[in-house]
Chains A and B, each alone.
Chain A
């Protein structure tokens, strides 16, 4: 079965960096687009970024553009989110999400449990 396991969250002061990792298994990683989405405590869902299956397309939410970078290591079936210049409003549970197709324009058909990022001084 499809498994997505996030790690790398934690408490960091504003302006610092974190790198999230999503370990995947149970599917052919290179044939699906992959997303990151987040949910602030008690709030709704926010899409963050997507990487197409061929690795050529990346797109970001305006709120993270220029600060976050999505990438992958196909040899490890792993997805990453490099988060720089973190702000308090980045505080959220970050989910790794498998897209329903190879394309960046795809809904998320499998979600990880998430890793919590807290940005506070």
Chain B
């Protein structure tokens, strides 16, 4: 099965900073990569699908990119409401594996 390696596992940044989270697939998955945000005590929310398409209503400060089997979620101008854990998920074929998650905190 394809493994999804997400890094870092946690990060702390200041309001207004640019934050980068990376997810690496162990094999080619095309653009079949989604990013989710899970705020504390809440259910996950789909942010991005097909690697770079923003789900409706997601602020434009969130951006997804792909380079081969490496995927990146970038949050520009980090806001206090962006605190939470971010997960990637591959969905090209089953199993639809999640990455281990990245917890984002505000300094």
A45-B36, A105-B91 in contact; A35/B46 too (CB < 8 A)?
no
A47 touching B92, Cβ below 8 Å = no
Number of B interface residues, CB 8 Å? 25
Q: How many residues belonging to A are interface residues under a CB distance threshold of 8 Å?
A: 22
Q: How far is the CA of A100 from the CA of B91 in the complex (A)?
A: 11
Q: Say whether B101 contacts A44, CB under 8 Å.
A: yes
Q: Contact at B98–A47, with CB atoms within 8 Å? A: yes
A32, chain B: closest CB distance, angstroms: 13
Q: Contact check, A108 vs B46: say whether CB atoms are below 8 A apart.
A: yes
Contact with A along B78-107 (1 / 0, CB 8 A): 000000010101011111111111000000
Q: Counting CB contacts under 8 A, is A13 at the interface?
A: no
Specify which chain A residues have a CB less than 8 angstroms from the CB of B32 in the assembled complex. 105
B residues near A (Cβ < 8 Å) are 1, 32, 34, 36, 38, 43-46, 49, 55, 85, 87, 89, 91-101
Sample (17) of A-B pairs whose CB atoms are under 8 Å apart: A44-B87, A45-B38, A45-B98, A47-B89, A47-B95, A59-B95, A100-B49, A105-B96, A107-B46, A107-B49, A107-B96, A108-B34, A108-B36, A108-B89, A109-B55, A111-B43, A113-B43
